[in-house]
Amino acid sequence: MKDFVLLHICCGPCSLYPLKTLKKESIKVKGFFYNPNIHPYQEFKLRIAALKEVEKIENLEIIWDETYGLRIFLDEISFQWERPKRCECCYYLRLKRTIELAEKLRAEAFTTTLLYSPFQFHDLIKEIGEELSYLYKVPFFYQDWRGGYKEGKEIAIELGIYRQKYCGCIFSEEERFSSKKKTPLFQIPKNSL
């Protein structure tokens, strides 16, 4: 076994249950924060602050990329605004960066806290992780942490860790507040012709 598993961390609350289970299995973990999808800027800063609290509480080493990545994210999704396609692009962006770092650091494997959320496309995350693992020859440590979602949420509440109300991207923020079906941008309504 090499030194550690590199854990891509999307946010503080989502890291708590995976970290608990990894510690229970005596797996050494280094965290990696890389989330150019998180918007707006104030939300990005709140999530960094929440994860820094977890970093202290868990005595966890985290490698930080605190670059606000609006342009990177929008370039990556390339007009794929609807779910699940935009999510696929976003997962690939973050996991590719994670595995590149895992390879550079000679980590035993890589994984992600995205596997914890019941609101994400779990099978798609697993598929991307396995594909990147094949390409980069770094094992993907797959774990279905969704069963601990309620427990992780309770831990976050008990610790007073900021809990976000949407996945992070600007489109998910819009979906949070709007229940109406959206008209794709650049589409001319039929009744206006």
Q: What is the pLDDT of residues 3-36, one digit of tens each?
A: 899 999 999 999 999 999 999 999 999 999 999 9
User: Residue positions in the annotated binding site?
Assistant: 10-11, 87, 90
Q: Residue ranges per domain, the chain?
A: 5-182
Question: 5-182 has which fold?
Answer: Rossmann fold (3.40.50)
Burial group, residue 71, by CB count within 10 angstroms (0-12, 13-18, 19+): exposed
pLDDT in tens, 132-184: 999 999 999 999 999 999 999 999 999 999 998 767 777 777 677 776 544 44
- Per the annotation, binding residues for [4Fe-4S] cluster are 10-11, 87, 90
What is the distance between the alpha carbons of residues 28 and 6, in angstroms, rounded to a whole number? 9
Taking CA atoms, 47 is separated from 8, 15, 76, 103, 116, in Å, by 14, 12, 21, 26, 17
The mean of the pLDDT values for the chain is 89
Task: Locate all alpha helices (DSSP H) within 119-192, ordered by sequence.
Answer: 122-136, 149-159, 170-177
Least confident of 59-68, 74-83, 102-111, 135-144: 74-83
